[in-house]
Amino acid sequence: MIGASTHPEKLGYGVARNLIQSGYRGAVCFVNPKGGYLFTRFMYKSVAEVPDPVDLAVLIVPAPAAAESLRLCGERGIHAVILISSGFREAGATGVALETKVLQIARQYGIRLLGPNCIGLLDTHLPLDTTFLPPPSPRPGEIAFISHSGAICAAIIDWSLRQGFGFSRLISLGNQADVNETDMLIHTMLDEYTRVLTLYLESVADGQRFIDETRRVNRQKPVVVLKVGRSAGGQRAAASHTGALTGVDTAYIAAFEKAGIFRADSIEEMFDWARALAWSPLPRGRRMAVLTNAGGPGVIAADSLENEGLQLADLSPETCAALTALLPSAASLHNPIDMLASASSIQYASCLRLLLDDPCVDGVLLILPPPPMYPAVSVAEALIPIIRNASKPVVVALMGSTQIDMAAERFQAAHVPEYRFPERAAAVLARLTERAEFLSRPEQPAQVFMDIDADKARSLLTEDPIGSWLAPEAAEGLLRAYGIPVASIKLAHNTGEAIEISQELGYPIALKIASHDISHKSDVGGILLGIDSPESAAEGFRTIQDQVRKAKPEADIEGVYIQRMIPQGQDVIVGAVHDLKFGALMMFGSGGVEVEGLKDVAFALAPLAIDEAERLILKTWAGRKLTGFRNNPPVDLEAVKETLQRLAQLASDFPKISEIEINPLRVFEKGAVALDVRVKI
For the segment 72-94, the average pLDDT, to the nearest whole number, is 95
Please give the pLDDT value at position 183: 96
pLDDT at 76: 94
Question: Which amino acid would we find at residue 513?
Answer: I
pLDDT at 233: 41
Angle between helix axes 267-279 and 150-163 (nearest 10 degrees) is 60
- In whole angstroms, give the CA distance from residue 512 to residue 540: 10
d(CA 385, CA 344): 16
Sign, Cα dihedral of 592, 595, 596, 601:
negative
- In this prediction, residue 498 carries a pLDDT of 87
The CATH code for residues 570-680 is 3.30.470.20
3-class SS letters over 46-85: CHHHCCCCCCCEEECCCHHHHHHHHHHHHHHCCCEEEECC
Strands of the sheet containing 489-492, edge to edge, are: 489-492, 559-564, 509-514, 527-531
pLDDT the model gives residue 101:
97
| Between 468 and 28, the higher pLDDT residue | 28
User: Does 432 or 520 have the greater pLDDT score?
Assistant: 432
Q: What's the CATH code, domain 138-279?
A: 3.40.50.261
Contact 139, 163 (CB under 8 A): no
Provide the pLDDT for residue 145.
98
Write the pLDDT tens digit of every residue in 537-558.
889 889 998 898 998 888 888 8
- When pLDDT is averaged across residues 663-677 and rounded to a whole number, the result is 94
pLDDT digits (tens, 9 = 90+) for 95-105: 999 999 999 99
pLDDT for 473 equals 87
What is the reported pLDDT for 518?
A: 83
251 vs 135: CA distance, rounded Å: 39
Each residue's pLDDT tens digit, 119-153: 999 999 999 999 999 999 999 999 999 999 988 99
CA distances to 50, 352, 413, 632 from 447, in Å: 56, 46, 48, 29
What value does the mean pLDDT take over residues 406-422?
96
Model pLDDT, residue 631:
77
Single-letter amino acid, residue 95: G
SS3 350: helix
pLDDT given at position 630:
78
Q: How many CA atoms lie within 13 A of 317 on its CB side?
A: 0
Cα–Cα distance measured from residue 517 to residue 506, given in angstroms and rounded to the nearest whole number: 29
pLDDT digits (tens, 9 = 90+) for 314-355: 999 999 999 999 999 999 998 999 999 999 999 999 999 999
pLDDT band at 1 (very low <50, low <70, confident <90, very high): very high
What is the band of 238 on the pLDDT scale with cuts at 50, 70, 90? very low
Give me the mean pLDDT over the 507-524 stretch. Answer: 85
- Does domain 1-132 fall into CATH 3.40.50.720? yes
Q: What pLDDT, in 10s, does the model give residues 608-646?
A: 999 999 999 999 999 999 998 877 889 999 999 999 999
On the question of pLDDT at 396 being above 60, the answer is yes
Neighbours of 465 (CB within 10 A): 6
Distance CA 84, CA 61 (A): 8
For CATH 3.40.50.720, list the domain ranges present in the chain. Answer: 1-132
What pLDDT, on the 0 to 100 scale, is given for residue 563?
Answer: 86
196: left (phi over 0), alpha (psi -120 to 50) or beta: beta
In 3-state terms the chain splits into helix, strand, coil percentages (rounded to 5) of: 40, 20, 40
Percent of the chain with pLDDT over 90: 77
> What pLDDT, on a 0 to 100 scale, did the predictor assign at position 246?
57
Rounded CA separation 545/20 (Å): 81
Share of the chain above pLDDT 70, in %: 97
Res. 244: pLDDT tops 80: no
Q: Which CATH number fits domain 286-429: 3.40.1050.10, 3.40.50.261, 3.50.50.60, 3.40.718.10?
A: 3.40.50.261
DSSP, collapsed to helix, strand or coil, labels residue 214 as helix
Handedness of CA 343, 345, 350, 355 (dihedral sign): positive
Distance CA 576, CA 119 (A): 40
Distance of CA 317 to the CA centre of its chain: 41
One DSSP character per residue, 230-293 reads --GGGPPP-SSHHHHT--TTHHHHHHHHHHT-EE-SSHHHHHHHHHHHHHSPPPSSSEEEEEES
Q: Is the per-residue pLDDT at 235 higher than 50?
A: no
Under 8 Å between Cβ of 647 and 449:
no
Domain with CATH 3.30.470.20 in the chain: 570-680
277-to-166, 168, 546 alpha-carbon distances in Å: 14, 14, 64
pTM of the model: 0.89
Going from the C-alpha of 104 to that of each of 61, 71, 639, the distances in angstroms are 18, 10, 52
Residue of 564 and 192 predicted with greater confidence? 192
Would the pLDDT of 18 be above 90? yes
CA nearest 224: which of 276, 187, 288? 276
Cβ–Cβ < 8 Å for 414, 190: no
**What is residue 239's predicted lDDT score, i.e. its pLDDT?**
42
Instruction: Assign a CATH topology to domain 488-565.
Output: Dna Ligase; domain 1 (3.30.1490)
8 A C-beta contact, residue 383 and residue 352: yes
Q: Which of 561, 650, 17 is nearest to 28 (CA)?
A: 17
**Average pLDDT of the chain?**
92
Residue 598: predicted pLDDT: 74
Answer whether residue 576 shows pLDDT above 50. yes
What pLDDT is attached to residue 234?
37
Statement: residue 477 has pLDDT above 90: yes
Q: Tell me whether residue 453 is exposed, middle or buried, using C-beta atoms within 10 angstroms of its C-beta: 0 to 12, 13 to 18, 19 or more.
A: middle
User: Average pLDDT of 378-393?
Assistant: 97
Give me the mean pLDDT over the 424-440 stretch. Answer: 97
* pLDDT value, residue 232: 52
Buried b / exposed e across 563-582, counting CB within 10 Å, b at 16+? Answer: bbbeeebbbbbbbbbbbebb
Query: DSSP state, 411?
Result: H
Query: Where in the sequence of the chain do the CATH 3.40.50.261 domains occur?
Result: 138-279, 286-429
**pLDDT digits 0-9 by tens, 254-301:** 999 999 999 999 999 999 999 999 999 999 999 999 999 999 999 999
